[in-house]
Amino acid sequence: MQDATLWRTLLGVEKTIVEDVNYDEESGILIASVRPTASMQRRCGECRRRCPKYDSGEGRRRWRALDLGTVPVLLEADAPRVRCRAHGVIVAAVPWARHQAGHTHTFDAQVAWLATQTSKTAITQLMRVAWRTVGAIITRVWNDTAATFDPFANLTRIGIDEISYKRGHKYLTVVVDHDSGRLVWASPGRDKATLGKFFDALGAQRSAAITHVSADAAEWIATVVAARCPNAVRVADPFHIVKWATDALDDERRTAWNRARKAAKENEPPRGRGRPPKDAPARPDSERAVKLKNSRFALWKNPEDLTEKQQVKLAWIVQTDPRLGRAYYLKEGLRTVFKLPLDEATEALDKWVNWARRCRIPTFVKLQKSIVKHRASILASIEHGLSNGRIESMNTKIRLITRMAFGFKSPEALISLAMLSLGGHKPALPGRK
């Protein structure tokens, strides 16, 4: 094999002439002098069209390439400028790197692959780059990847949700394809304008092809979905509906706890400092308050998941506080609705609404109004067997990615990393088929 071909192969470059290779002993860096082949010279850095030369630019530039063993490698070449009819005066394109990038294609590809496979520390140490540099690399890799396929092809059933990615109420709106399970789209923000960007990108024709949309009961999602794809069946997420009931139950638990604390304050003498004597009178109201305070998990958990100790505590609550016990059965009743066939679920949901309306527990009286408002989407979730379970699973994975993405300069880098990891088009390791 000729030396030029050997070096071109080792450096991972194409359509490139290797002019010279030198090793700088002082810095420990291998420097390869290169130039584009004749067919790749004088091309616009943006559109890659042939253009007349404008000037020699600011002299020679360097690009970071993959290490050869333990030796860092730099490519060095002239960086002339050309005059493009579309983009004006611009630095000429080079075949070994993206426009305005300081790293070669193979270097970018390896960093992007590592970002989807391993930890932040491993990437920065192995590739000898700062974490912010990783963010810039994966952003441009994803932009190139996204241009190679249609992310909205065959999109009919979607899930929409928001996820916090940073302190200070910073959120991403994410869209997931129910059929393929891949992340389709994400953008900073959680409002009508943000979700409107997704439907703008989708287009009116494809928006009309959406048949099912699952989401929580956020008004901003419902409003945009109703306006942009009115023919789609809107499906409420059972997890969020049951969570409403769980939150209402917890509100009632705190109310019962406060009632017990108030009774203890009114009916029992103040307790002095230190440990009470052995012959001190019993304090039933205080003990009841403590038990109610510590009953959260016995009330929250599904009956089949309760420990023996929690079952005893639940039985005690039902016996000693009928109102709180009634709130628990209301929560379980709503959860049971989602396990029934559609016909039975429809009847059971109507009965549950009537029960909650008459229960005289303010939080559940308020909850039944929300259930009535979203009745159609609740029954649609039962009929079509859809939920936001897939998107909640996606959100869990994005949260893990978010932990890695601390230190990125912008949310676009986080989105790029999430799309590369979860969008169905993971980057390939250079040199592998």
Complete DSSP assignment for 134-194: HHHHHHHHHHHHHTTS-TTTT--EEEEEEEEEETTTEEEEEEEETTT--EEEEEE--SHHH
> What is the pLDDT, as a whole number, of residue 276?
62
Residue with tokens 């439907």, as numbered in its chain: 199
Distance in angstroms (rounded) separating the CA atoms of residues 305 and 283: 32
The values of phi and psi at residue 47, to 5°, are: -100, -10
> What is the pLDDT, as a whole number, of residue 237?
83
> What is the pLDDT, as a whole number, of residue 396?
85
Which residues have a Cβ under 8 Å from the Cβ of 369 and sit 6 or more positions away? Answer: none
Distance in angstroms (rounded) separating the CA atoms of residues 132 and 102: 13
Distance in angstroms (rounded) separating the CA atoms of residues 313 and 305: 14
> What is the pLDDT, as a whole number, of residue 256?
84
Which of 318, 292, 296 shows the shortest CA–CA distance to 306?
296
pTM of this prediction exceeds 0.75? yes
pLDDT tens, position by position, for the chain (433 residues)? 467 888 998 999 999 999 999 999 999 999 999 999 999 999 999 999 999 999 998 889 999 999 999 999 999 999 999 999 999 999 999 999 999 999 999 999 999 999 998 888 899 999 999 988 999 999 999 999 999 999 899 899 999 988 888 877 789 999 999 988 899 999 999 999 999 999 999 999 999 999 999 988 888 998 999 999 888 998 888 888 888 999 999 998 888 888 878 877 766 666 666 666 665 555 666 777 788 888 888 888 888 888 888 888 888 888 888 899 999 999 999 999 999 999 999 999 999 999 999 999 999 999 999 999 999 989 998 988 887 777 778 888 888 888 777 777 788 989 999 999 999 888 989 887 6
Sign of CA dihedral 329, 334, 335, 336: positive
> What is the pLDDT, as a whole number, of residue 186?
94
> What is the pLDDT, as a whole number, of residue 410?
80
Radius of gyration of the chain (CA): 31
Cβ–Cβ under 8 Å, residues 372 and 384: no
State whether residue 377 is helix, strand or coil. helix
Residue with tokens 């530039």, as numbered in its chain: 61
